[in-house]
């Protein structure tokens, strides 16, 4: 069995490949659903209904998608330049912590107007993510330390740091002993996008960020250089691009996006930091970015799809008794299926 | 005569490219068959099918009357087919004897039959006059010696049909002569040889019969005695070759590039150890040398990729820049040997590749925002001026296609065009053009186009430095030829003052380090 490059890719095949991937995903997951003893079509119906079937379901899905868009963009921006930031989870927590530290204290201490505090809070969160990732970027450019290792392992350092902060300096005295931070003042919280739902303006900010990342990649010299470095760093260097500077700039941008994910979660949903505020948004962002083929605009539908699967799986589990883990399986299988489909779009299999 | 190898209707496609089109060919015992053709004509594909690296889409390969299973190099070896690749497949840290026996011994035997192997190797090497020391580490051998080890390896495994893929590409003229004599000995003792080449002279020197491939098709299969170089050339190219462009006789102008006793080291490459050289306006200086004598480091030094550790390196009398960007800004036109790895970014479009070297200049960006329309227009203009061809070019959607889709020759035209579009520096001081292996692997048409551009640049008063392993190219282009050997320029003369034999001797000369 061998792979052969295709000469041309027809439009029909280009559209059909992702649909085929979805079909394969559903077929594989149908086996598991059946195995769990539930009716297949009713279960998928419940999944779809729970994720997208009502006003409540849609707003819940979009609320869930908001941090995923940020972390998905963080991964997409970095991976495009072949800087493999696996540490969005840690950057998210640092962003959240910085947002609360600045947002909860600054206004109270200085008496500045809320607008100023709000901007300071957002900037602080972005900087926290940026600067933390800059360490890994500098290790990579100065000492050739692999960033996959450093960003992955420092996630655990961050979580322990956050744990210490929540049990120590930033502990909310009114939380009855629970390890959680003080809350943001209400005037710094994001307003709701739709009344009587949890969907907040952070979703609109996420959409804005996706458009901004797309524009940066396409229309700026930095975006061009980042794509060039990602595609062929040797040739980019030959062509006069400062590869190290591009990698560091990319890392600053990626870390800022992940930090924003934390700030938006705090300001839009939780209002304080806990150790379980992210069910792995940082890692899921990698899946989002891969599903989106690293395209900033495609990150939005990819994030909504994954959020919908998780939200839908919760209600499917209540309705037909299939464990919620099916959502993890669906997301994982769909990622693999999409990766295989994109390969098959470019290559055909020859059996000889 | 008996046919030891017979190809019947061998066909192989790579995507849209028909690499071999129904090729039928036979090889007789005691014969040297030359496979002649331009780069990309399908020669290497054909031998790779015989050896089992590739599986043919149609057709069969018979060796000594039995059909070889497709895609099985072990079966080809067992049937007596030996292959000497263009790029050697030897382990540098092992000795000659270990390299030759590697893979021939069963794993479960605890004691290797080293004494018997040594005796057999010695017997083979003395029978064919292939002298090498069995216990010398391969890393210490010269290129010619390594090739001998490759041949011994094939013979040790009982090859009766030996295929050599462009064996002279890495050899000096003298080493090539020696190889040809060895091949004559092989066929005299009953072996058969397939010899791949795109050089007419050596094919006429060594082959009994010549098969010419063009664009995947077998266009001629003739005995050497009944053909001529001119006839073969027409078969190979499919038309008459355009005459070389005329060049004026004129003295060179002011010195543009000056190297004095330059040392430089680069990871994984032989270093420069005191190179001195000058290139003046209106002349082409060619660096000749066997591969691996510091040419790659010299090229990377001039590209701005490595820095000199000592010595003086001057452009128009001022210190040479030390980063690729600064070298570009200084107005140096650069054409690297590795077109796909270094010269272009395959995933980016043609127009992005055309503009990439100057993407931060005011021509293509303002305040950090790309001027995409200007970049595209520049790319379109470059594609026209340098005759870059491909699907959708010059007027269709081809400009947006990834550069990886261009053929080697057209990609090289794009890279050369990009380099030559760099403005000459202030007050018409003459540019420096550095071209490393500018026509390596290209077909005759692309070679002619690129040579014409370099000669035109010389006529316009540029200083041109060409680094090449192709002596034909060197004699076609150079006003002066400098020989590089073990990191130094050991001799420089006007091109007319060199003979091929002298040049070969200078290239091969071994000096104390």
Of the candidates B324, B369, B370, the beta carbon closest to that of A239 is on B324
**Spatial distance between the Cα atoms of B346 and B342, rounded to a whole number of angstroms:** 10
DSSP H helical segments within B275-407, as ranges? 295-303, 324-329, 350-355, 372-385
Same domain, B439 and B511: yes
Burial class, B320, CB count within 10 angstroms (exposed 0-12 / middle 13-18 / buried 19+)? buried
Joined tokens for residue B266: 């680069």
Among A228-237, A239-248, B232-241, the least confident range? B232-241
B32 torsion bin: left (phi>0), alpha (psi -120 to 50), beta (else): beta
At residue B285, the 3 state secondary structure works out as strand
The reply to whether B123 and B56 lie within a common domain is yes
- Asked whether residue B394 falls in the same domain as residue B435, the answer is no
3-state secondary structure of B49: helix
φ/ψ of residue B116, rounded to 5? -65, -40
Beta partners for residue B491, in sequence order: B483
Q: What is the pLDDT of residues A143-182, one digit of tens each?
A: 999 999 999 999 999 999 999 999 888 888 887 878 888 8
Spatial distance between the Cα atoms of B415 and A212, rounded to a whole number of angstroms: 32
Are residues B203 and B283 located together in one domain of the fold?
no
- Cα dihedral sign for A113, A118, A119, A121? positive
Instruction: Give the closest-approach CA distance of B404 to chain A in angstroms.
Output: 11
Domain boundaries of chain A, sorted by first residue: 68-298
Residues A170, A174, A178, A181, Cα dihedral to 10°: -30
Q: What is the pLDDT of residues A259-294, one digit of tens each?
A: 999 999 999 998 899 999 998 999 999 999 998 889
Instruction: Say how far apart CA A124 and CA B192 lie, in whole Å.
Output: 76
**Among candidate residues B422, B441, B471, the one where a domain is terminated:** B422
Picking from A352, A227, A18, the residue whose alpha carbon sits closest to that of residue B58 is A352
pLDDT digits (tens, 9 = 90+) for B40-69: 788 888 988 998 888 888 999 999 988 888
Q: Where are the alpha helices (DSSP H) in B207-294?
A: 229-237
CATH of the domain at B460: 3.40.50.300
Nearest C-alpha in B relative to A239: B357
Please give the Cα distance from B30 to B13 (Å, whole number).
32
Per-residue DSSP letter, A97: H
Strand order in the sheet with B32-36: B81-84, B161-165, B192-197, B32-36, B209-214, B217-223
pLDDT at B513: 40
Same domain? B325 vs B451: yes
| In contact, B197 and B224? CB cutoff 8 Å | no
DSSP-derived 3-state class of residue B512: coil
* Residue with tokens 């989106």, as numbered in its chain: A292
**The total number of structural domains that make up chain B:** 3
Kindly indicate the confidence band of residue B512, based on its pLDDT and cuts at 50, 70 and 90: very low
Cα-trace Rg, chain A = 21
Helices (H) and strands (E) in chain A, counts: 13, 2
Q: Tell me: do B119 and B263 sit in the same domain.
A: no
State the smallest CA–CA distance between residue B481 and chain A in angstroms: 27
Distance (Å, rounded) from C-alpha A340 to C-alpha B348?
Answer: 23
Name the region of B159 (left: φ>0; alpha: ψ -120 to 50; beta: rest).
beta
Q: What is the pLDDT of residue A136?
A: 96
Angstrom distances, CA of residue B92 to CA of B137, B139, B270, B290: 7, 4, 15, 19
Whether residues B308 and B411 share a domain: the answer is no
What is the 3-state secondary structure of A298-318? HHHHHHHHHHHHHHHHHHHHH
Q: What is the pLDDT of residue B290?
A: 80
Full-model pTM:
0.80
- pLDDT band at A346, cuts 50/70/90? confident
Region B103-108: mean pLDDT is: 69
| Residue B319 backbone phi and psi in degrees, to 5 | -55, 140
Tell me if A224 sits within 8 A of A113, measured CB to CB. no
Taking the Cβ of residue A348 and every Cβ of chain B, the question of whether any pair is shorter than 8 Å is answered with: no
For the segment B11-38, what is each residue's pLDDT rounded down to a tens digit? 998 766 788 899 999 999 999 999 988 7
**Which residues of chain A does B303 touch, with a Cβ-Cβ cutoff of 8 Å?**
238
Distance from CA of A2 to the nearest CA of B (A): 10
B71, B336, B359: residue with CB nearest A238: B336
User: Which tokens in the block code for residue A44?
Assistant: 């998928």
Reported confidence tier of residue B424, pLDDT bands at 50, 70, 90: low
**A239 has a chain B CB within 8 A of its CB:** yes
Does residue A11 sit at the B interface (CB-CB below 8 Å)?
A: no
Nearest to B424 by CA among B457, B380, B446: B457
Cα A165 to Cα A159: distance, rounded to the nearest angstrom: 10
Instruction: Tell whether the model's pLDDT for residue B427 goes beyond 80.
Output: no
Nearest to B31 by CA among B211, B197, B174, B199: B211
- Rounded to a whole number of angstroms, the distance from the CA of A12 to the nearest CA of chain B is 19
Are A91 and A75 a contacting pair, CB within 8 Å? no
Distance between CA atoms of A316 and A349, rounded to whole angstroms? 37
Task: Please state the rounded mean pLDDT for residues B85-91.
Answer: 81
Distance between CA atoms of B124 and B254, rounded to whole angstroms? 57
β-strand partners of B493: B481
Strands B332-335 and B432-436: parallel
Answer left, alpha or beta for residue A37, where phi above 0 means left and psi between -120 and 50 means alpha: left
Quote the radius of gyration of chain B (alpha carbons, Å): 25
Are B15 and A237 within 8 A, CB to CB? no
How does strand B3-14 pair with strand B369-370?
A: unpaired
The tally of CA atoms less than 13 A away on the side-chain side of residue A257 is: 31
Are both B217 and B363 inside the same structural domain?
Answer: no
Please report the pLDDT score of residue B107 as a whole number: 61
First-to-last C-alpha distance (Å) of chain B:
52
A2 part of contact set with chain B, CB < 8 Å: yes
Q: Is the peptide bond before B292 cis (omega within 30 degrees of 0)?
A: no
Where among B237, B263, B280 does a domain terminate?
B237
- Chain B residues whose C-beta is within 8 A of a chain A C-beta are 14-16, 55, 70-71, 303, 305, 323-325, 327-328, 334, 336, 341-348, 352, 356-360, 365, 368-370, 372
* Contact indicator for B391, B398 with CB cutoff of 8 Å: yes
- Shortest alpha-carbon distance between residue A255 and chain B (Å): 21
Structure tokens at B87: 């790029």
- Joined together, the tokens standing for residue B277 give 């050289």
Please provide residue B284's backbone torsions phi and psi, each rounded to the nearest 5 degrees: -110, 120
Structure tokens at B46: 């054909």
**CA pair distance A192, A202, nearest whole angstrom:** 9
**Residue B369 and residue A5: Cβ atoms within 8 Å?**
no
Query: Which of A5-14, A131-140, B120-129, B400-409 is predicted with the least confidence, judged by mean pLDDT?
Result: A5-14
- Listed range (B69-83, B252-266, B455-469) with the worst mean pLDDT: B69-83
* B53 and B190, same domain (yes or no): yes
What is the value of ipTM here, to two decimals? Answer: 0.86
Residues B228 and B150 in one domain: yes
- Vertex B218: Cα angle to B216 and B220 (nearest 5): 145
pLDDT digits (tens, 9 = 90+) for B242-296: 566 677 787 888 899 999 999 999 887 889 999 999 999 999 999 998 877 889 9
Which of B209, B237, B265 lies at the terminal end of a domain, its last residue? B237
DSSP tag of B356: G
Label residue A6 exposed, middle or buried (CB < 10 Å: 0-12, 13-18, 19+): middle
Q: Measured between beta carbons, which residues in chain B are less than 8 angstroms from residue A231?
A: 345-348
Whether residue B442 is found in the same domain as residue B322: yes
Rounded to 5°, angle at Cα A53 from A47 and A57 = 85
Split at pLDDT 50, 70, 90, the class of B201 is confident
Predicted confidence at residue B510, as pLDDT, reads 62
With an 8 Å Cβ cutoff, are B328 and A237 in contact? no
Task: Return mean pLDDT, chain B.
Answer: 86
Query: B150 and B177 in contact (C-beta within 8 Å)?
Result: no
B52, B324, B391: best to mutate for the A interface, most A CBs within 10 A: B324
By residue range, what is the domain housing residue B149? Answer: 3-237
Higher pLDDT, B345 or B232: B345
**Backbone φ, ψ for residue B250 (5° rounding):** -160, 150
B contacts of A234 (beta carbons < 8 Å)? 341-342
Q: What angle do CA A195, A107, A74 make, to 5 degrees?
A: 65
Judge whether A346 is closer than 8 Å to chain B, CB to CB.
no
Select from B232, B168, B246 the least CA-distant residue to B470: B168
Length of chain B (residues):
513
CA-CA-CA-CA dihedral for B415, B417, B423, B425, to nearest 10: 60
CB A254 within 8 A of CB A78: yes
DSSP, residue by residue, B1-43: --EEEEEEEEEEEETTEEEEEEEEEEEETT-EEEEE--TTSSH
According to DSSP, residue A274 is labeled: B
Residue B172 has pLDDT above 80, yes or no: no
Q: Tell me the average pLDDT across B89-117.
A: 78
pLDDT at A7 over 70: no
Phi, psi of B324 (to 5 degrees): -55, -40
Surface-to-core class of residue B372, CB atoms within 10 Å of its CB (0-12 exposed, 13-18 middle, 19+ buried): middle
Token duo for residue B485: 């050997």
Whether the per-residue pLDDT at B380 is higher than 60: the answer is: yes
Kind plus residue range of the DSSP H or E element containing A103: helix A88-110
CB burial of residue B224 (10 Å; 0-12, 13-18, 19+):
middle
Asked whether residue B393 carries a pLDDT value surpassing 80, the answer given is no
Q: How far apart are alpha carbons A46 and A40 in whole angstroms?
A: 10
DSSP A198: S
Unique residue bearing structure tokens 């048409």? B445
């Amino acid at each position: 069995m061998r792979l052969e490059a295709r000469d041309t890719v027809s439009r029909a095949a280009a559209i059909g490949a992702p649909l085929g991937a979805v079909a394969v995903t559903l077929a594989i997951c149908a086996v598991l659903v059946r195995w769990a003893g539930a009716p297949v079509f009713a279960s998928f119906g419940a999944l779809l209904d729970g994720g997208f079937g009502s006003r409540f379901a849609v707003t819940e899905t979009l609320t869930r998608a908001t941090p995923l868009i940020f972390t998905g963009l963080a991964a997409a921006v970095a991976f495009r330049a072949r800087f493999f930031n696996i540490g969005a989870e840690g950057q998210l927590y640092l962003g959240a912590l910085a947002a609360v530290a600045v947002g909860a204290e600054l206004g109270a201490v200085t008496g500045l107007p809320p607008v100023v505090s709000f901007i300071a809070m957002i900037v602080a969160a972005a900087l926290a993510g940026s600067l933390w990732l800059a360490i890994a970027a500098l290790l990579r450019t100065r000492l050739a330390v692999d960033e996959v290792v450093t960003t992955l392992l420092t996630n655990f350092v961050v979580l322990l740091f956050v744990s210490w902060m929540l049990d120590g300096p930033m502990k909310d005295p009114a939380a009855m002993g629970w390890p959680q931070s003080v809350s943001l003042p209400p005037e710094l919280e994001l307003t709701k996008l739709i009344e009587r739902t949890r969907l907040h303006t952070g979703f609109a900010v996420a959409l804005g960020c996706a458009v901004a990342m797309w524009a940066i990649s396409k229309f700026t010299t930095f975006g061009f250089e980042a794509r060039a470095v990602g595609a062929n760093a040797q040739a980019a260097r030959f062509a006069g691009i400062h590869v190290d500077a591009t990698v560091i700039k990319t890392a600053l941008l990626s870390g800022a996006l992940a930090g924003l994910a934390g700030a938006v979660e705090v300001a839009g949903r939780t209002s304080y930091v806990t150790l379980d505020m992210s069910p792995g948004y940082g890692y899921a962002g990698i899946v989002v970015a891969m599903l989106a083929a690293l395209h900033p605009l495609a990150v939005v539908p990819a994030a909504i799809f994954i959020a919908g699967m998780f939200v839908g799986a919760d209600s499917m589990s209540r309705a037909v008794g299939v464990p919620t883990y099916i959502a993890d399986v669906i997301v994982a299988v769909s990622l693999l299926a999409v990766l295989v489909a994109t390969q098959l779009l470019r290559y055909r299999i020859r059996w000889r | 005569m008996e046919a030891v190898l017979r190809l019947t209707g061998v066909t192989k496609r790579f995507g849209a490219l028909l690499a071999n089109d129904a090729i039928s060919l036979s090889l007789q015992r005691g014969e040297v068959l030359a496979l002649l053709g331009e780069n990309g004509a399908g020669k290497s594909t054909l031998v790779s099918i015989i050896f089992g690296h590739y599986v043919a889409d149609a057709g069969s390969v018979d060796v000594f009357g039995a059909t070889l299973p497709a895609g099985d190099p072990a079966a080809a070896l067992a049937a007596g087919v030996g292959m000497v690749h263009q790029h050697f497949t030897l382990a540098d840290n092992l000795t000659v004897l270990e390299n030759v026996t590697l893979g021939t011994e069963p794993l479960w035997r605890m004691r290797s039959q080293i004494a018997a192997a040594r005796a057999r190797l010695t017997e083979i090497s003395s029978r064919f006059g292939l002298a090498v020391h069995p216990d010398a580490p391969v890393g210490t051998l010269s290129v010619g010696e390594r090739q001998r080890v490759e041949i011994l390896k094939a013979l040790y495994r009982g090859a009766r049909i030996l295929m050599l893929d462009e064996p002279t590409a890495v050899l000096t003229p003298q080493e090539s002569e020696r190889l040809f004599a060895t091949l004559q000995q092989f066929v005299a003792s009953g072996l058969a040889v397939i010899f791949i080449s795109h050089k007419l002279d050596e094919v006429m020197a060594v082959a009994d019969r010549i098969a010419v491939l063009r664009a995947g098709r077998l266009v001629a299969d003739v005995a050497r005695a009944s053909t001529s170089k001119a006839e073969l050339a027409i078969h190979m190219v499919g038309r008459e070759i355009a005459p070389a462009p005329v060049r004026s006789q004129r003295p060179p102008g002011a010195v543009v590039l000056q190297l004095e006793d330059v040392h430089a080291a680069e990871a994984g490459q032989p270093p420069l150890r005191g190179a001195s050289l000058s290139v003046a306006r209106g002349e082409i200086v060619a660096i000749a040398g066997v591969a691996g004598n510091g040419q790659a480091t010299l090229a990377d030094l001039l590209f701005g990729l490595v820095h000199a550790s000592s010595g003086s390196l001057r452009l128009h009398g001022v210190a040479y820049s030390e980063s690729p960007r600064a070298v570009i800004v200084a107005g140096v036109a650069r054409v690297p040997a590795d077109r796909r790895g270094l010269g272009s970014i395959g995933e980016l479009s043609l127009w992005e590749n055309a503009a990439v070297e100057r993407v931060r200049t005011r021509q293509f960006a303002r305040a950090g925002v790309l001027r995409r329309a200007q970049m595209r227009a520049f790319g379109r203009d470059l594609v026209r001026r340098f005759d870059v061809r491909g699907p959708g070019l010059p007027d269709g959607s081809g400009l947006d296609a990834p550069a990886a889709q261009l053929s080697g020759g057209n990609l090289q035209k794009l890279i050369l065009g990009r380099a030559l579009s760099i403005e000459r520096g202030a007050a018409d001081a003459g540019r420096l053009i550095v071209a490393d292996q500018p026509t390596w692997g290209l077909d005759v048409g692309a070679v002619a186009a690129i040579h014409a551009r370099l000669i035109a640049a010389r006529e316009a008063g540029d200083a041109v430095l060409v680094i090449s392993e192709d002596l034909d190219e060197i004699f076609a282009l150079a006003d002066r030829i400098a020989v590089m050997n073990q990191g130094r320029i050991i001799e420089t003369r006007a091109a007319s003052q060199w003979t091929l034999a002298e040049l070969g001797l200078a290239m091969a000369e071994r000096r104390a380090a």
